[in-house]
Amino acid sequence: KQEVTQIPAALSVPEGENLVLNCSFTDSAIYNLQWFRQDPGKGLTSLLLIQSSQREQTSGRLNASLDKSSGRSTLYIAASQPGDSATYLCACSGAGSYQLTFGKGTKLSVIP
């Protein structure tokens, strides 16, 4: 059974800093890995999707990497802004199943 872990559970940084969020998964047989953002009381906003054959994806100030062999993904946020404050979740879908398995998320606070 796939298990997804996100470390740290919470992170506080000053505005302007670059930061990295970590995600690890136990079963490397995945179709893809998605990073989401969740604001309080809201649903999930898809940020980036990395297919199993890809190593990274970029969107604006966000860059996500995937290393299937080691079961790790990172989300890099450049020049953080207070509006980046949210909970960031990673999730992967495994071979033979379209369902997403989620980590518990990292709660990010960017201090002005």
Partner 1 sequence: GAGVSQTPSNKVTEKGKYVELRCDPISGHTALYWYRQSLGQGPEFLIYFQGTGAADDSGLPNDRFFAVRPEGSVSTLKIQRTERGDSAVYLCASSLARRGLPFSNQPQHFGDGTRLSIL
Question: What residues line the site for partner 1 (CB under 8 A)?
Answer: 4, 31-32, 34, 36, 41-46, 49, 51-53, 89, 91, 93, 97-105
Rounded Cα distance between 11 and 31, Å, is 29
How far, CA to CA in Å, does 33 sit from each of 3, 74, 80, 81, 83? 13, 11, 23, 25, 24
For partner 1, the closer CB: 47 or 110: 47
- On whether the CB atoms of residues 7 and 107 are closer than 8 A, the answer is no
Q: Please report how close the Cβ of residue 44 comes to partner 1 at its closest, in angstroms.
A: 4
For the bound state, the minimum distance from the C-beta of residue 88 to partner 1, rounded and expressed in Å, comes to 11
Q: Which is closer to partner 1, CB of 80 or CB of 93? A: 93
The distance of closest approach from Cβ of residue 32 to partner 1 in the complex, given in angstroms and rounded to an integer, is: 5
- Residue 29 vs 79, nearer CB to partner 1: 29
Nearer Cβ to partner 1, position 84 or 88?
A: 88
